[in-house]
Structure 1
Amino acid sequence: MKYLLLICLSVIVAFMPSIAKAKSLSLVQSCAELVDIYESRDEKKFLASQRTSLSESFRAGYCRGVLEQHRASNNRHCSSDWYKRAKFIAALRNHEDRFSDSVLLKKSCDEY
């Protein structure tokens, strides 16, 4: 039991930097990754789906998760079309410092 606790604590400490980094993900950049991955899914290139890196996939998943969570927790009507909302947010790449994530999420709901 003592060893199990020690192992669990070691794993938690080992992943602390990555947990802290996850909080600093940009919603705009993450949604841009999601849109890029989704748009390239129809490419006929050999092994196109295997060329997506783990970090790109993680950022794309972050965007999709944030959009789904916002839609689920939002009391007012919000589009369930995550792709249109992600594309709207990704289009603001050059202006991402002007809007907070909550404003971007609200605007993406209002837009679609």
Structure 2
Amino acid sequence: MVCINIIAADSNRDAEFLFTSMQQAFVKLRRGETGQLPPPIQNMDQFWSPSEQYGVQQALSMSLVGDKAKVRHGLQSILRETDADEIMVNGQIFRSPGAPAFV
């Protein structure tokens, strides 16, 4: 079994923006801060230090972030590389107030 994070959106840029919520949450966890999933931000470089960036990127290395084609390609690659017969998917996406519910 393989467990991966997936953040998919209509465009790679939108998915990368949404992914900043999960990245911030991991930084805050490492800082000992608690709380709810933060809203996405435009610039992670203003949020994390280089060492925090390195640690979070390592922790989230099994993440697929992108549009439908990029995520599909990533899933196919992981299946080929691991020969997994089961995939567990996690996705932490901030829901803006008034936004439609995720299905």
Q: TM-score, normalized by length of structure 1?
A: 0.28
More helix by percentage:
1
Q: TM-score, normalized by length of structure 2?
A: 0.29
Look at both structures and tell me which one has the larger radius of gyration over its CA atoms.
Answer: 1
- Higher relative contact order, chain-length normalized (CA < 8 Å, sep 6+): 2
More strand by percentage:
2
